[in-house]
Amino acid sequence: MNFEFPLRELPAVMRGPRIERRRVLIGGSAFWGTMQDDTTQLRLDDGRLIDAEQASYLPPVTPSKIIAVHISYSSRSIETRNAPKPTATPTYFMKPTTALNGHRGQILKPADCSYLNYEGEYAVVIGRTCRNATPDEAWDFIEGFCPALDMGLQDFRDTDQGSMLRVKGADTLLPIGPGLVRGVNLFEQTLRTFVNGRIVQQAHIGDETIWGPHYVIADIARHITLLPGDVILMGTPCHSRSVDPGDVVECEITGLGRLMGTVTAIEAPRAAALNVGHAPTDSPEVRRVALGNDSRVAEYLKDNLRAARAQRGHE
Amino acid sequence: MNFEFPLRELPAVMRGPRIERRRVLIGGSAFWGTMQDDTTQLRLDDGRLIDAEQASYLPPVTPSKIIAVHISYSSRSIETRNAPKPTATPTYFMKPTTALNGHRGQILKPADCSYLNYEGEYAVVIGRTCRNATPDEAWDFIEGFCPALDMGLQDFRDTDQGSMLRVKGADTLLPIGPGLVRGVNLFEQTLRTFVNGRIVQQAHIGDETIWGPHYVIADIARHITLLPGDVILMGTPCHSRSVDPGDVVECEITGLGRLMGTVTAIEAPRAAALNVGHAPTDSPEVRRVALGNDSRVAEYLKDNLRAARAQRGHE
Amino acid sequence: MNFEFPLRELPAVMRGPRIERRRVLIGGSAFWGTMQDDTTQLRLDDGRLIDAEQASYLPPVTPSKIIAVHISYSSRSIETRNAPKPTATPTYFMKPTTALNGHRGQILKPADCSYLNYEGEYAVVIGRTCRNATPDEAWDFIEGFCPALDMGLQDFRDTDQGSMLRVKGADTLLPIGPGLVRGVNLFEQTLRTFVNGRIVQQAHIGDETIWGPHYVIADIARHITLLPGDVILMGTPCHSRSVDPGDVVECEITGLGRLMGTVTAIEAPRAAALNVGHAPTDSPEVRRVALGNDSRVAEYLKDNLRAARAQRGHE
Amino acid sequence: MNFEFPLRELPAVMRGPRIERRRVLIGGSAFWGTMQDDTTQLRLDDGRLIDAEQASYLPPVTPSKIIAVHISYSSRSIETRNAPKPTATPTYFMKPTTALNGHRGQILKPADCSYLNYEGEYAVVIGRTCRNATPDEAWDFIEGFCPALDMGLQDFRDTDQGSMLRVKGADTLLPIGPGLVRGVNLFEQTLRTFVNGRIVQQAHIGDETIWGPHYVIADIARHITLLPGDVILMGTPCHSRSVDPGDVVECEITGLGRLMGTVTAIEAPRAAALNVGHAPTDSPEVRRVALGNDSRVAEYLKDNLRAARAQRGHE
């Protein structure tokens, strides 16, 4: 966490009671509802009580824009850079809204791509128009939080000069949900990503996040107006890796919920046969990002995270 | 048909080839696709071929407004009025966009209501911003056509002084689809509504429609800007009747497709227990509209429609 | 006020501090800002301080639907009905979103129309998705309030069978603003409409409104989902009358602000020359509504309103 | 131009007659209109004829996303790279829709920034949902073309790792218009950028563009669905340079129109005083891009462009 902007008191959006809103498709209509305390039933606003496990989910957000933090976890910073020190300030990229996907969505992997990586994250959803706020004020503009999977086709890492439009922007590459949650202290939660039920990423948000959402909102809103519904993806911890068709990817954040998606093969685009555009590439740099650098991460985890956790244990 | 504005040539939107676009939810993402010639398979734009029968449908439209013609079929005009002559010009009401529903949707009937009526119709979808057009020009602003069911809770006929907000505006009361079709000569098509598989409404659009979509668009656009995606519901023929939970209602229009919805019971709204708002009413006027006037329609059908059909047969 | 649902405590949206948000166009970009205490300056969110009098205003709302109460003032009820008793429950109609207009807008009057009537109103803006709420709960779904002018082309009163699509739905017929206000006790405010600076309508909202916004929201949301940004127009007091090109119409609500529009002539639509659609009509019924019934209102005002005001004076 | 995808015939969107649609704010309402042949008058859809020079313009587009080509002119490729050869395929970044600005807009330059650069471009506007198209098919998905200014705060070039979110994404940094044009052969047009009336960029689109819009659409739509209204910015020729408050920047494209914006100073964001986020930076790399490399460009222009123009002269 960025210690220059400590919380003086818990912001309203993180104080209870916990409220989780979900949006489902029944027949051909979308309905909003509120999760019941037992977390197995969804009370639709029209009074119907449905089994949350059986529902067909839509994204619980309708943003005008989606902005993502490149790196906001110390473990990810270590893993992806040569220097052991994170950058002094966060950096960002955008995902198009056509990438949105809901809980239990299909995450499409074209036949000519090899490296589709998961990144478990939490998303911040904007509630009110925000421009030119300080970090202290920024909390008031947050509607709530969602689990999210910022999926990426790393085969396109060599192109787009850092914007990652094709790495991160393809249709279906942003599962988000199942619900939009407020009334939970985000900084006490733990994020875990699962592939086929096995934990592949894990981070305590309070211990390991470099910048809080209040800092990020204040940073972006220096120059860019955030509108109600806009989504900010808060970065992923270390151990983003590639998955294959048939794999089930989940992002669980305690207090927020568990989001699931299934990797699904589609054929290569028709324009690929005409050699249109940058071809998916299998380079050393692509492999380095797609397949990761376990030794460096292991070193870091051993030294730093245990210390952080020990410190928290003593607070 | 309004004979003051005959077609000089078939407009482009009614000339072939026939193209049907549908929008489906797979996992948590919406995808557009084009129906294949055999009408059993939908080719998604990303290349996947899916079974059209198994798909989960979204409305194929995202209008900013929905305007409906009160009466545009001579048989309906006869049925609902004392005078045998239709009004000289069409009249309209609005449905909120929250009423939209897709193919195979649930059509909600609250427990405190008794008379949920079907009205099979065709919908016109606007393709380009339109204001101040003549009937001749109006064709160029049409994107395509869809089957639709303009459902109504006739229990609220006694209130809202003719706007029908609560009769026609409740959530789910506008199933539309399965697809958006262009390249079909609308005036050669036949509309049929089915309840549990039995034909309950039938009309030949060219013979029995009083006003064509070009006339209606020119009429509305005298004062109101129509935006891309806006929907105009073109009225229903005679024999709108009430249906009950469990009933399957379908509107089939040859050339356009067959739309289905299922009547589904929900509990009465919570505010009903507090006596908030106009209570659903079972009055003679409500019954007259909900249950219809078969003798008058029978008389009309015998005399007029057979003549019209005979005349068409000789053209 | 509907006495079955008294306020137990002042809802948050009516408690201070007062906040007024406005949206302006500068060059080709829209900007939000907050009015400063002196009410002559608008602080844009990007830090600029501009003269509120010189700004170019956009509507401070972007609704998916606009629902209007037919009659919600006792004086208007008396004026427009034969019975001295208002209807037992409110009734509604819709206006299309293309009718939206901002502060200092031009209110268009086509050359073939004679009776463009003003109706000063307050609008309620929805802040959160609302369905199936009780009146007590409904307050939490309100974002704020705006002055509004529900203008109507009474020449079309004879058509549309009560939906008033063409009376109330034409482009520009809903000036709203200048701002969206929260933190003001609506029930202590007075609404006044001015034509060319002369008061033509006046009503104390707390004394003369029949139904509060909480009741109306609970009523509509029995069957219809209200979405963030949706607008409800709360009806006008007596003395709606016709205005002519060049007239300046204003609706001032103490605590909320003063909205202005100018009646502007445009030519008749091109389709009028082809006799498309219901022609503007000058009938006794049209004149009755457009020009009003002063004697009945005078009677009512003498007997009832003075009593209400006297009673308030003694509270 | 990419010669692998030559035009077999002029696409419909580039065949006459020329139609230019503009969107203006009058009072508080937006109106669409069509430019008259003399180019000094705009015929609003409601029939009014207004002086195009006096109008208040809104962007003629409402995109769900904006995608920009990094480099699509050979002169710009030479200027910004070490290698004399352009990249083999186009690369892209996104601009948020909050950056949109209209003709005669104010282009905001914060007090803590030094290098606000112009980039004159043409924009392509999508007319129909597009995914998985070939370059040949892609033309059918284009609605029309607009002049645009892809403004950038180069002070943030050192951050965001290539996404350029803060360089290109700030509010007001995308003036576009004055209108949306179809019916013009884009490849025969010349783009010129002016600062205070002096030509600062010039390029013949057919001669100097590396990739046509059909290629770019086919490339992006391999993985990303383009929706109606989406905007693609097609890159700028050489000589992007910094401008200062008070400067008037224009982009004129023959056949499309002349777009104007004025650089306007605003104060630094409030969070800057708290050192939130990456500070605007004045580094050698920033200066290299902001101030340009004239000697390399001069060399290129001398050798290559004259040859291209000569060749065209002989065709």
CATH number at residue C295: 3.90.850.10
Q: Do C32 and A228 touch (CB under 8 A)?
A: no
Q: Which of D39, D221, D23 is nearest to D135 (CA)?
A: D221
- The full 3-state SS of C74-134, as one line of letters, equals HHHHHHHCCCCCCCCCCCEEEECHHHEECCCEEEEEECCCCCEECCEEEEEEECCCECCCC
pLDDT at D291: 86
Would you state the pLDDT for residue A79?
Answer: 76
CB spacing of B132 vs D32 below 8 angstroms: no
Count Cβ–Cβ pairs < 8 Å, chain B vs chain C: 183
* Chain-chain contact of C132 with A228 (C-beta, under 8 angstroms): no
CB-closest option in D96, D134, D161 to A65: D96
C6 reaches D (C-beta below 8 A): no
B32 domain-assigned? no
Query: Interface partners of B (3+ CB pairs, < 8 Å)?
Result: A, C, D
Q: Which of C62, C225, C226 to mutate to test the interface with A (most CBs of A within 10 A)?
A: C225
Percent of chain A with pLDDT strictly greater than 70: 89
Distance CA(C297)–CA(C139), nearest Å, equals: 32
The reply to whether ipTM tops 0.90 is yes
Q: Which tokens sit at D33?
A: 């209109």
Q: Which among D45, D225, D228 has the least Cβ separation from residue B132? A: D45
Under an 8 A CB cutoff, do B277 and C65 touch?
no
Q: pLDDT-based confidence at A2, cuts 50/70/90?
A: low
Q: Which residues contact C82 (CB under 8 A, 6 or more apart)?
A: none
Q: Could you tell me what percent of chain B has a pLDDT over 90?
A: 74
Q: Residue A310 has what pLDDT? A: 63
Rounded to whole angstroms, how far apart are CA atoms D194 and D259?
A: 10
Say if A189 falls within a structural domain.
Answer: yes
Query: What pLDDT band is residue A237 in, cutting at 50, 70 and 90?
Result: very high
Is D4 among the domain residues?
no
Q: What is the pLDDT of residue D8?
A: 79
pLDDT at residue number A75: 79
Give counts: helices (H), strands (E), chain B. 8, 21
Chains with 3 or more CB pairs closer than 8 angstroms to D?
A: A, B, C
Residues of chain C in contact with residue B270, where contact means CB-CB under 8 angstroms, are: 132-134
Strand positions, DSSP E, B29-90: 29-35, 41-44, 49-51, 56-58, 66-69
What's the rounded mean pLDDT across residues B282-289? 85
Quick: pLDDT tens for A69-97.
Answer: 998 888 777 777 644 455 789 999 999 99
Q: Please name the member of D27, D102, D264 whose beta carbon is closest to the beta carbon of C106.
A: D27
What would the mean pLDDT of A172-201 be, rounded to a whole number? 97
Model pLDDT, residue D88: 85
Nearest CA in chain A to C45: A131
**What average pLDDT does the segment D266-294 reach?**
88
Q: Is the pLDDT of residue A305 over 70?
A: no
Indicate the burial class of D59 (C-beta count within 10 angstroms; 0-12, 13-18, 19 or more): buried
Phi, psi (rounded to 5 degrees) for C270: -60, -35
> Does residue B302 register a pLDDT over 70?
no
Half-sphere exposure of A307 (CA within 13 A, CB side): 6
Angstrom CA distances, D150 to B300, D173, D233, stand at 65, 6, 8
Kindly indicate the confidence band of residue B74, based on its pLDDT and cuts at 50, 70 and 90.
confident
Residue A17 belongs to some domain of the structure: no
Structural contact between residues D128 and D230, judged by C-beta atoms closer than 8 angstroms: no
pLDDT of residue C315: 43
**What's the confidence (pLDDT) of residue B84?**
42
Domains contained in chain D, number:
1
Q: Is residue D44 part of a domain?
A: no
- What pLDDT is recorded for position D213? 96
Instruction: State the nearest Cα–Cα gap between C190 and chain B, in angstroms.
Output: 26
More confident site: A237 or A315: A237
C45 close contact with A: CB closer than 8 A: yes
pLDDT of residue D315: 43
Give yes or no for B98 touching D (CB within 8 A): no
Please indicate whether residue B248 or residue D157 has the higher confidence score (pLDDT).
B248
**Structural domain contains residue A166:** yes
d(CA B115, CA C173) in angstroms, rounded, equals 35
Indicate whether C196 belongs to any domain: yes
Nearest to D266 among C46, C58, C270 (CB): C46
Q: Is D49 in the C-facing interface, judged by CB distances under 8 Å?
A: no
What distance in Å separates the CA atoms of residue D214 and residue D9, rounded to the nearest whole number?
A: 13
State mean pLDDT over A245-261: 98
Tokens of D72: 């699509």
Residue C185 structural domain: 59-311
Q: Which amino acid is at A70?
A: H
Q: Is the pLDDT of residue D1 over 70?
A: no
Tokens 């330059």 correspond to D109
Q: Would D277 be classed as within a structural domain?
A: yes
Average pLDDT score over chain B: 90
Give exposure, A227-236, as e/b (b: 16+ Cβ within 10 Å).
bbbbbbbbbb
Instruction: Give A93's contacts in chain D (Cβ within 8 Å).
Output: 94, 160-161, 163, 165
Q: Is B90 on the interface with C (CB under 8 A)?
A: yes
D32 touches chain B (CB under 8 A): yes
Burial readout C194-233 (b: 16 or more C-beta within 10 A, e: otherwise)? bbeeeebbbbbbbbbbbbbbbbbbbbbbbbbbbbbbbbbb
The pLDDT tens digits for B54-70 are 999 999 999 999 999 99
pLDDT score of C83 more than 50 = no
| B59 in contact with chain A, both atoms CB, cutoff 8 A | yes
A162 contact D CB<8A: yes
Contacts of D169 in chain A (CB under 8 A): 94, 223-224
Report the chain B residue with the minimal C-alpha distance to residue A104. B27
Closest CA to D123 of D20, D254, D230, D262: D230
